[in-house]
Every structure is written in structure tokens, then in C-alpha cells.
Amino acid sequence: MATKAEKPNGKLGVMVVGLGAVSSTFITGVLMTRKGLAKPVGSMTQYDKIRVGRGENKKYLHYKDIVPLADLNDIEFAAWDVYPANAYESAINCEVLKEKDIEPVKEELIKIKPLKAAFDHNYAKRLDGDNVKDCKDRWDMVEQIREDIRNFKKETGVERVVVLWAASTEVYVPVDEKIHGSLEALEAAMQADDKEHIAPSMCYAYAALAEGCPFIMGAPNTTVDIPAMWELAEKTKMPIAGKDFKTGQTLVKSGFAPIIGTRCLGLNGWFSTNILGNRDGLVLDEPANFRTKEVSKLSTLESILVPEEQPDLYGHGNDEDTQYYHKVRINYYPPRNDNKEGWDNIDIFGWMGYPMQIKINFLCRDSILAAPLCLDLVLLSDLAMRAGRYGTQRFLSFFLKSPMHDYTQDEVPVNHLFQQYVMLKNAIREMGGYEADEEID
């Protein structure tokens, strides 16, 4: 039986890396909800009800009635950013929310001034802000972030801190076994100032875990998705989660692909394209940054509709005729700002191979979809820490586009939305002192 989570005592600090569209929408929404002026729609921790107990003992309860979640009133925010705009200015500049939904919490937002970022221009060439730390080397970068966390704790008196990456996607850092394969090698590379293999995000993650804070990777960066960080998370007994918030198109994909799979229809191709015009889109317009996103977005379908398992259904469509054709594209288109438009064209086939098409056109709002995920990931990581869970938190895969998994052991990530939901519910049950009771099959 897994451990029950302990009740929180003091306040929960949430330190967000990046104070852009997602973070400012997340923070503003929490503050507005606290005042009773907005509803946290889309947040599982605030709305979902799940069954606990069986037979005549069965009850459907909200998460907070099963596990001791931190209360929204007990959250204190801080952030780092490359640009000096405070959370109010950022919320206004990003143009996600209307002024009427920001003004009532203006005073609180103004107080959230970004700490200097641990930043390396080579990891996001389209950004050129000057609110940046002056670091001797990568190890010094870690030390400075650790000091920020300690200062935040001292100044606010928060009992616990969760660090959430909601900063820009960095350029793709392929996993290099020699550097990322063990904690010792990672630390040596940080000390040797190996800028090529140590992304700034790794310094944030290292600092967070070393200071006893869970770390969540909301972008597709490989940061904590490497054996060295798994080792650090084991050593410090801290939860880690990642990677890449599952918001629009991939949410649809992980919910829709099971329809094709369950119904035993065939797939010839799936073409996904997006237009968006926010700063995220600008950064992703750089091919090296897009590569990180592409790797993350492509993985979803391949683990739900597996060609090797059903060659008749999924074994055709691309050049080598071994698999359906799967493409993902992101196009920077400024007029749309945060209002992303995603198109999916799905070429399926049925009885005797006769072709059909499905078109999905999702006119979504990126940060409106991401904000509740930030809240849920933060609250559930804090809960996991109090339940003594550490290392990769697979039950959080539900919220993530490219869930972390131990690829060194050939472990396959669970991308199927409904299997992920079972994992989430079971973890909540266990942390509430109930039995996990549904098999994943």
C-alpha cells in the first residue's frame, strides 16, 4: 500500500521560470479565483470528482476531499524572467486576458517582479532581454538559483516550494550518455562549464531538487528527462514531472487516437498543423527550438497506434510503407497572438481498405488551456512530495505531451488519455489512503 500524503502546514511557494503568457495567465487566474472573481475552469484538482471505495462504500469525491491538497489561499508566487516586466505588465502585454480580468488583482501582480534569469542566448536566440544573471560558469548558475530559492523562502516564510518551468522552449539538447548518464558526470560538466550539454533549464532543475523542491518541466526540453536528474531526484527524494504541457492539439490527439485504435480502423496518415503568434510561436519559429517541440509532439501517436502490433492497420502510408505518415508543423503567424488554430487532417481507412477522412479544426487559446495544467501540476507535485513519492511521477502523464519514462529500461510512455486518467485516479486514491483498484490494460 502506498503512503498517504501528510497534511500541509504552512504556505506553498510557487516559483515559475518564465513570466510570459502561460505564467501570467496562471498566476492572474489563481489570484482572481481567490477573490471569487473567476472560476478555475479546466483544473482537475478544483473540479474533478473520482470514485473511492467499492460496493456500498463507494463515494464520488473532489480531490481535496480525498487528499490534503494545498489551498489556493496558501500560495505565494515568484518568477524569473529574461525581461524585467512584472506579472501585471506581462499579463497586459501578452493580451491573453482582458483588462477587466487583470485589474482587480493588479496590486498583487505588480509585486511579482521577475528575478534575474539564468539564461544563455544560444538556447533561445530570439530573446534578448537584459534581466539576466551574470554567471561565471554553469555551476555558479546553479548556486545563484539556489540562493534565489532560499531568499524567497526566507522573505515569504513559505514552508515548501515547487519550481515550474513555463519559460521558452530551449534548443534541442540530444541526450548524451557520457554527460547526462550519471549525476557525477552532470555535476562535472556543470563545473567544467560545458555550455553545449548543460542547458540553463538543467541548472534550474538541479537547483530546485538540491533545495528540496519538486521540479516540473512544462516545455519539451530534455532537462529532467535524463538519468542524471533521475539520480538527483532519488538522492534528494524529490518528485519530478515532464515534459511539455498537453494543451490543445496533442490533447485532442491523445483522446482521439484511441477511437481509431479501439474501433480497429486503419490509419494512413495524420497531418497536424498550427498557426500561432505569441512569443512562444516566435521562439518555435527557430528550427533548433522547433526540433525540441517536434520530437515531443510526434511521440504521442506512435505509442498509441503501434505499427509493429497492427501492421495491417498502421503499417502503410509513408515512403518505406512501414508506418502511417505523421507530420507536425507549427507556423508563426503574428496576427493570431495566443489564439492558436490547429488543423488535423486524418486519413483513415475501413472495411476492405476503403479510405475516409476526418478533419479537426481547433480554435483554441494556448494559455487558457495551459494555466489549469500549471495549477494541477504544482498542487499534485507538492502532494506527491508530502506522500513521500520521488523521482518521475508517472501519474502526472495525463497533463503532459511527452511523459517521462525510463527509456534506458525500454519502458514505453503511456500516452493514451484514458489510461493516463486511470493512473491519475489511482495515485490520488493511494495518496488518500484508499486502494488503487483499476487495472491498466
Ligand X SMILES: NC(=O)c1ccc[n+]([C@@H]2O[C@H](COP(=O)([O-])OP(=O)(O)OC[C@H]3O[C@@H](n4cnc5c(N)ncnc54)[C@H](O)[C@@H]3O)[C@@H](O)[C@H]2O)c1
CA distances from 32 to 91, 139, 374 (A): 13, 38, 15
Minimum CB distance to ligand X smaller for 226 or for 387? 226
Nine-digit cell at 249?
492539439
Question: Cβ 292 to ligand X, closest distance in Å?
Answer: 9
Minimum CB distance to ligand X smaller for 324 or for 398? 398
Minimum CB distance to ligand X smaller for 296 or for 426? 296
Question: Cβ 427 to ligand X, closest distance in Å?
Answer: 22
Question: Cβ 94 to ligand X, closest distance in Å?
Answer: 6
Question: Cβ 247 to ligand X, closest distance in Å?
Answer: 3
Question: Cβ 385 to ligand X, closest distance in Å?
Answer: 22
Nearest to 323 by CA among 307, 300, 302, 338: 307
Question: Cβ 321 to ligand X, closest distance in Å?
Answer: 33
Nearest to 96 by CA among 20, 14, 18: 20
Minimum CB distance to ligand X smaller for 84 or for 269? 84
Question: Cβ 61 to ligand X, closest distance in Å?
Answer: 29
Question: Cβ 190 to ligand X, closest distance in Å?
Answer: 15
Return the residue nearest ligand X (CB atom): 20
Question: Cβ 252 to ligand X, closest distance in Å?
Answer: 12
Minimum CB distance to ligand X smaller for 140 or for 159? 140
Question: Cβ 318 to ligand X, closest distance in Å?
Answer: 26
Minimum CB distance to ligand X smaller for 24 or for 268? 24
Judge whether 200 and 208 are in contact, CB under 8 Å: no
CA distances from 434 to 147, 191, 331, 382 (A): 39, 45, 46, 19
Minimum CB distance to ligand X smaller for 13 or for 261? 13
Minimum CB distance to ligand X smaller for 394 or for 401? 401
Minimum CB distance to ligand X smaller for 4 or for 113? 113
Chain residues that interact with ligand X, rule: CB under 6 A? 17-23, 80-83, 94, 117-119, 124, 127, 129, 166-169, 200, 218-219, 244-245, 247-248, 278-280, 366-367, 369-370
Minimum CB distance to ligand X smaller for 129 or for 433? 129
